[in-house]
Structure 1
Amino acid sequence: MRNVHIAVAVAAGLALGAAACSDPDDSEKKADSKNAKHIAFFGFAKANSFTVATFDGVKQQAGKDGGTAEFFDSNFDAQAQVRQIQDAVTSKRFGVFIVQANDGTAVLPAVKTAVRNGIAVVVQFTPVGPRYDTDQPQVPGTVSLVDVPTRNGRRLGELGADACRSRDLKPCKVAYLEGLKTLPLDNARTNAVVGALKSTPGVEVVARVEGGYTRDSGRKAMQDVLQAHPDVQVVLGSSQALFGAEGVAKGKKISYIANGASRQAVSAVREGRWYGLPYLPVRTAGAKAAELGLAKAAGRNVPAATDMASLVPDEGKLTKSTLAASGITGEYDE
């Protein structure tokens, strides 16, 4: 969920849209059967542990089903990812695409072209399309397995409010280390987080700064927060950002709520260093995406939409008190 520095070129998007519209055959074609079990995985970046764990699940499931999987590394660049999807369609080497969209709007034309060419497309983790409040496919013919950003934001905000209540803080001063302000997806999540916090009596959102998805960006964000609000009591952000933030705030009694599901983040909650997190089984979700894509490529019926949060009980809202009974340890390392 993570590390996404994205600059989308409008001209490139328009060019792709024109190319997609110029396809003389708008009916769905059938993919080459000999490539039906070859999966192209379009991930955020190979440098991102979350993405690598997802691909591990994809690759493992592909192997079980007699298929293969190849990682296309866009390095968090939306324009590069669009080109990769286009080139993979042209190559006719793959029967399945699994797309972790850096920018769900930018990839729309390329994803539509893939569907028209008979490729089974699974939209994984981030929605493809302009809406960030639904798990339903926004491109007809695709399969959706996403973590709905607004629902994720609501869970994150609710955990923040719970942390305030657990300490009986009135007022409770909260800072949110947002993802990336350039991303529509992160902006939708931020609105949901802040909405959940502000709807809770006694909670005061004193700071909203860009925390990003690295320890360094979290460290810088926390420095800015503490300079303006040294009495902040609850801090929310990506798990990577919080690992940087807590180092800056040593000695302060702060409740942390992380958006991330690594083994290290889960351990921080278990140890009581962090209050909680909305948990997602990342490797399991990657395997599920491969299973759905391969089944669709084989002509079998599969669910059109699955919310990733449904893969774990109680939408994955973990705290120290609920973690022990869950048996959850995390599925990847930071």
Structure 2
Amino acid sequence: MAAGCSDPNDGEKKSEGKNAKHIAFFGFAKANSFTVATFDGVKQQAGKSGATAEFFDSAFDAQLQVRQIQDAVTAKRFGVFVVQANDGTAVFPAVRAAVREGIAVVVQFTPVGTRYDTEQPQVPGAVSLVDVPARNGRRLGELGAAACASRKAKSCEVAYLEGMKTLPLDNARTQAVVSTLKNSPGVKVLPTVEGGYTKDSGRKAMQDVLQAHPDVQVVLGSSQALLGAEGVARGKKILYVGNGASRQAVAAVREGRWFGIPYLPVRTAGAKAAELGLAKAAGQNVPAAVDMASLVPDEGRLTKATLPGVTGEYDE
């Protein structure tokens, strides 16, 4: 689960003058249910530890998030940062500055840096608790290949509704998905279409896919996009693999509408991030890196056969 340990004094200043039990949470957006669920986990763990937590809403604005982190470093009110980066490259200097000021920084869900194939922290002294994009893409591709195999056909057309072409993280994920599918017997990978992270973008992407490839048999994409795509493809025998872990996504698998999802316990991960940050701020040695997929069995590959006991930890 972890590689190495994070020394609480990895070249940064002592955290004198800061409130070691005050957590700053820099999330994607308050309007995003995934982010809210993560913060709920942070708050829950903070409460158990006699700590407090404050949400900084960047509303998916990478540059606003950079300024928020910079201002929080200057304010010297927080002993712990939990950073859910909109753009891991953009926030890198601000996160590095926070570590150097003696703040215990936990990079949560998205990597901070330019590499998307490792859970190892790219900012020396930070703690990393991320879902490695390249591995997430591999799991998506493996579930897509398994969905194809379940059809027992000689050839199987698969469409991937990728996230956003402008995001390096999504590009790394897409490369892993496509590579995994292409190396799977009997799978024909269709050209990728941008599906985004909303029902509306998923509907539009699915319309484009069906117009060009009406016989598509398996469709992969974000859970939000697939919830929109389903309505467009109503009546067609398509197997879906969603990238998300909401209660709605779990229900879709349970009902047989979707073949499977890579499942992550979002609220649990938020609590784990707070636990790691508070322990580091208290001067304890903690794991330097934790892959979020290690928090669940089989790296979270969830199908109808592996559903018992899983309900999801947030709503779309």
User: Structure 2 length normalisation: TM-score?
Assistant: 0.96
Paired position in structure 1 for 2:53: 69
Deviation at 1:170, TM superposition (A): 2.2
- Corresponding position: 1:175 with 2:156: no
Structure 2 counterparts to residues 105-184 of structure 1, below 5 A:
105-184=89-168
- Equivalent-residue separation in structure 2 for 1:33 and 1:91 (angstroms): 11
Q: Secondary structure of 2:66's match?
A: helix
Paired position in structure 1 for 2:310: 328
Paired position in structure 1 for 2:16: 32
- Note the aligned Cα RMSD (angstroms): 1.0
Paired position in structure 1 for 2:207: 223
- Corresponding position: 1:318 with 2:302: yes
- Equivalent-residue separation in structure 2 for 1:207 and 1:137 (angstroms): 33
What letter matches 2:315 in structure 1?
D
Deviation at 1:77, TM superposition (A): 1.1
Deviation at 1:131, TM superposition (A): 0.4
CA contact (8 A) 1:221 1:245 kept: yes
- Equivalent-residue separation in structure 1 for 2:153 and 2:190 (angstroms): 14
Q: Secondary structure of 1:35's match?
A: coil
Paired position in structure 1 for 2:285: 301
Q: Secondary structure of 1:144's match?
A: strand
Percent identity, aligned pairs only, is 84
- Equivalent-residue separation in structure 2 for 1:104 and 1:170 (angstroms): 41
Deviation at 1:33, TM superposition (A): 5.1
What letter matches 1:190 in structure 2?
T
Deviation at 1:234, TM superposition (A): 0.3
- Equivalent-residue separation in structure 2 for 1:219 and 1:35 (angstroms): 47
Q: Secondary structure of 1:207's match?
A: coil
- Equivalent-residue separation in structure 1 for 2:18 and 2:121 (angstroms): 27
What letter matches 2:73 in structure 1?
V
* Residue-by-residue CA offset, 1:18-54 (whole Å, 9 max, x unaligned): xxxxxxxx95111235511110101111111111100
What letter matches 1:102 in structure 2?
N
CA contact (8 A) 2:22 2:78 kept: yes
Deviation at 1:207, TM superposition (A): 3.0
Q: Secondary structure of 1:256's match?
A: strand
Aligned length: 307
- Structure 2: gaps of 5 or more residues: 1-9
What letter matches 2:310 in structure 1?
I
Paired position in structure 2 for 1:11: none
* Residue-by-residue CA offset, 1:231-270 (whole Å, 9 max, x unaligned): 1110000000000000110000000000000011001001
Paired position in structure 2 for 1:204: 188
Deviation at 1:211, TM superposition (A): 0.5
Q: Secondary structure of 1:272's match?
A: coil
Deviation at 1:169, TM superposition (A): 2.4
Structure 2 counterparts to residues 271-290 of structure 1, below 5 A:
271-290=255-274
- Equivalent-residue separation in structure 2 for 1:272 and 1:317 (angstroms): 15
Paired position in structure 1 for 2:4: none
Q: Secondary structure of 2:13's match?
A: coil
* Residue-by-residue CA offset, 1:46-90 (whole Å, 9 max, x unaligned): 111111100000011111111111111111111111111001101
- Corresponding position: 1:188 with 2:175: no
CA contact (8 A) 1:32 1:92 kept: no
CA contact (8 A) 1:32 1:95 kept: no
CA contact (8 A) 1:215 1:240 kept: yes
- Structure 1: gaps of 5 or more residues: 1-25
What letter matches 2:314 in structure 1?
Y
- Corresponding position: 1:244 with 2:222: no
Paired position in structure 1 for 2:5: none
- Equivalent-residue separation in structure 2 for 1:170 and 1:283 (angstroms): 41
What letter matches 1:130 in structure 2?
T
- Equivalent-residue separation in structure 2 for 1:207 and 1:47 (angstroms): 31
Runs of 4+ that moved beyond 3 A: none
What letter matches 2:98 in structure 1?
A
